[in-house]
Amino acid sequence: MRAMSDGPYAPAGPARPAPSRALGRAPSHAGAAPADPARVFDRALHRTRRDRAAARLAADPKAETLLAAAAERLLDRLDDVTRRFTAALDLGARHGLVAAALRARGIASVVAAELSPRLARMAAGRGVPALAADEEALPFAAGSFDLILSNLSLHWVNDLPGALLQLRHALRPDGLFVATLWGLGTLAELRGALLEAESEATGGAAPRVSPFPDLRDAAGLLQRAGFALPVADAETLSVLYPDVFALFADIRAMGETNAVAERSRRPLPRGVLMDAVRRYAARHATAEGRIPATFRLITLTGWAPHESQQRPLRPGSAAARLADALGTEERSAGEKAGR
Amino acid sequence: MSSVDPRLLEILVCPLTKGPLRYDPERQELVSEKAGLAYPIRDGIPIMLVDEARRLDGASAAPAAPAPPSAPPPATGQA
């Protein structure tokens, strides 16, 4: 079945711009026919993963450590803004961490939208109106919100440009959108160890770690979706785990287990997994024997356009001469200085 | 705790057509006539997912979505 990856649906040259998906080109072991090449992620599977994460998040408060760290950075962005918000959406809310924090900040109307109905119910349990919704098909009327936040969910969306466009429509003019997502470089150590171990054992490797968008892609997408004053920045978080299995547990608790549509349907053989774990530890373990994992956190910020926002003037519309402001003499481009 | 929040009823539209929804308090559903789908409300939580919606034409509970006018065709062939 290996030859199937050579078919016309090989994921090279996507028609639509999409997050970097270098790993998607690896030989696929998938037995099922791959679908639309633009469809990187299996959303139904991702929903199941999030449903399962609900139980872990409920049982173990430590499971939300990374989610909370990212949420804190997300909410920090609001402190940089003097605007008061009245109608907020927490998109990809999981159990309502960000939504509850927005409530605590005194925003009158906060809504939590989450792909997993089970997690949405946990969010509702915090007293936030909640619904189940798919980021790829948003159910909100135009201009429903003046603030949309999304914590660590949008890297699972197949059509990120489309999702951003829908989000902008859901915002009122001058509404703010801020999102965190995992970017390229996230879990680089794990990806490397798995690739090495699997290709040595089988001569090929399936994408075991999801592809992540890179910073430049993300910034461009914001702009293309029509957001004003778009900003994308990134921060690297290094987290120490007692061992590689503790890292796996953390990934599962966030509902972040690989859901690449062309992922291998065969589970990783135990021997290969153990080899990858050994390689990971051998290469990266600290002197105390702890395992570092890199997470690259991208934060996106954009505003729904409004007349009041700063924007560049039209060329030729200047009312004062730059030369006057600089106290110098203006020369035409053809003249050389000093003659 | 099973009644849906009135704020949600104000802002929700059909995720496929972006058209209006009719609230059916008897069946606890949000009905999109244009898409021919009824989205269930469970414990006050609207489930705005196409594959959880009931088809109005009475077809069996197959989760397949009707082809939306503007969205890409739903992925098929997943075994």
| Strand A171-182 relative to strand A145-151, pairing | parallel
The model's confidence at residue A337, banded by pLDDT at 50, 70 and 90, is low
pLDDT given for residue B79 in this prediction: 37
Cβ distance of A140 and B13 shorter than 8 Å: yes
Nearest C-alpha of chain A: how many angstroms from B60?
20
Instruction: Tell me if chain A has a CB within 8 Å of the CB of B74.
Output: no
Cβ neighbours for A99, distance < 8 A, ≥ 6 positions apart? A88, A90, A93, A110, A111, A112, A123, A126, A128, A130
Cβ distance of A141 and B11 shorter than 8 Å: yes
pLDDT given for residue A106 in this prediction: 94
Q: Which of A25-29, A200-204, A325-329 has the highest mean pLDDT?
A: A325-329
In terms of C-beta density within 10 A (0-12 exposed, 13-18 middle, 19 or more buried), how is residue A223 classed?
A: middle
* pLDDT tens digits for range A284-316: 999 999 999 999 999 999 999 998 887 767 777
pLDDT given for residue A4 in this prediction: 32
Q: Which of A15-19, B39-43, B68-72 has the highest mean pLDDT?
A: B39-43
Cβ distance of B14 and A111 shorter than 8 Å: no
Instruction: State the Cα–Cα distance between residues B27 and B60, nearest whole angstrom.
Output: 18
pLDDT given for residue A89 in this prediction: 98
pLDDT given for residue A335 in this prediction: 60
Summarize the confidence of residues B41-47 as an average pLDDT: 96
Q: How many CB atoms lie within 10 A of CB A47?
A: 23
- Interface probe with B: pick from A48, A107, A119, A131, most Cβ of B within 10 Å: A131
Residue pointed to by tokens 């703010």: A176
pTM: 0.78
Please state the domain count of chain A: 1
- Least CB-CB distance to B11: which of A36, A144, A159? A144
The model's confidence at residue A338, banded by pLDDT at 50, 70 and 90, is low
The model's confidence at residue A259, banded by pLDDT at 50, 70 and 90, is low
Q: Inform me whether the pLDDT recorded for A148 exceeds 90.
A: yes
pLDDT given for residue B71 in this prediction: 45
Task: Pick the range with the lowest mean pLDDT from A39-43, A93-97, A236-240.
Answer: A39-43
Cβ distance of A134 and B11 shorter than 8 Å: no
> Is A289 within a domain?
no
The model's confidence at residue A159, banded by pLDDT at 50, 70 and 90, is confident
pLDDT given for residue B64 in this prediction: 47
> Is A252 within a domain?
no
Cβ neighbours for B61, distance < 8 A, ≥ 6 positions apart? B54, B55
Contacts of B13 in chain A (CB under 8 A): 139-141
User: The dihedral of CA A169, A172, A174, A179: what is its sign?
Assistant: negative
Q: How many Cα atoms are found within 13 Å in the side-chain-facing hemisphere of A223? A: 10
The model's confidence at residue A202, banded by pLDDT at 50, 70 and 90, is confident
pLDDT given for residue A37 in this prediction: 52
Nearest C-alpha of chain A: how many angstroms from B58?
23
pLDDT given for residue A328 in this prediction: 85
Nearest C-alpha of chain B: how many angstroms from A133?
5
Cβ neighbours for A282, distance < 8 A, ≥ 6 positions apart? none
pLDDT given for residue A194 in this prediction: 86
Residue A48 sits in a domain whose CATH number is: 3.40.50.150
Cβ distance of B49 and A42 shorter than 8 Å: no
- Least CB-CB distance to B72: which of A31, A36, A261? A36
CA angle A170, A68, A105 (to 5 degrees): 60
Which is more confidently placed, A217 or A84?
A: A84
* pLDDT tens digits for range A129-139: 999 999 999 99
> Is A204 within a domain?
no
pLDDT given for residue A38 in this prediction: 63
Cβ distance of B45 and A124 shorter than 8 Å: yes
> Is A195 within a domain?
no
Cβ(B25)–Cβ(B18) below 8 Å: no
* pLDDT tens digits for range A61-85: 777 888 999 999 999 999 989 889 9
Which is more confidently placed, A246 or A116?
A: A116
Instruction: Tell me if chain A has a CB within 8 Å of the CB of B69.
Output: no
> Is A140 within a domain?
yes
Contacts of A144 in chain B (CB under 8 A): 11
Which is more confidently placed, A256 or A225?
A: A225
Residue pointed to by tokens 């939580």: B45
Instruction: State the Cα–Cα distance between residues A271 and A170, nearest whole angstrom.
Output: 49
- Interface probe with A: pick from B48, B70, B76, most Cβ of A within 10 Å: B48
Cβ distance of B45 and A121 shorter than 8 Å: yes
**Domain carrying residue A163:** 2-15+36-186+210-236+294-306
Q: Inform me whether the pLDDT recorded for A169 exceeds 80.
A: yes
Instruction: Tell me if chain A has a CB within 8 Å of the CB of B72.
Output: yes
Cβ distance of B45 and A138 shorter than 8 Å: no
> Is A59 within a domain?
yes
> Is A179 within a domain?
yes
Q: Inform me whether the pLDDT recorded for B60 exceeds 60.
A: no
| Strand A171-182 relative to strand A228-241, pairing | unpaired
Q: What is the predicted ipTM?
A: 0.76
Sequential DSSP letters for A229-271 = EEEEEEEEEEEEESSHHHHHHHHHHTT-S--BTTS-SSPPPHH
Mean per-residue pLDDT of chain A: 82
Q: Inform me whether the pLDDT recorded for A317 exceeds 90.
A: no
Which is more confidently placed, A10 or A291?
A: A291
- Least CB-CB distance to B48: which of A36, A124, A132? A132
Sequential DSSP letters for A93-138 = -TTTHHHHHHHHTT-SEEEEEESSHHHHHHHHTTT--EEEEBTTB-
Nearest C-alpha of chain B: how many angstroms from A170?
9
Cβ distance of A132 and B75 shorter than 8 Å: no
Instruction: Tell me if chain A has a CB within 8 Å of the CB of B5.
Output: yes
pLDDT given for residue A263 in this prediction: 63
Cβ neighbours for A200, distance < 8 A, ≥ 6 positions apart? A275
Q: How many CB pairs under 8 A join A and B?
A: 79
Cβ(B19)–Cβ(B13) below 8 Å: yes
* pLDDT > 70: percent of chain A: 82
Q: How many Cα atoms are found within 13 Å in the side-chain-facing hemisphere of B15? A: 25
Cβ distance of B45 and A35 shorter than 8 Å: no
pLDDT given for residue A41 in this prediction: 84
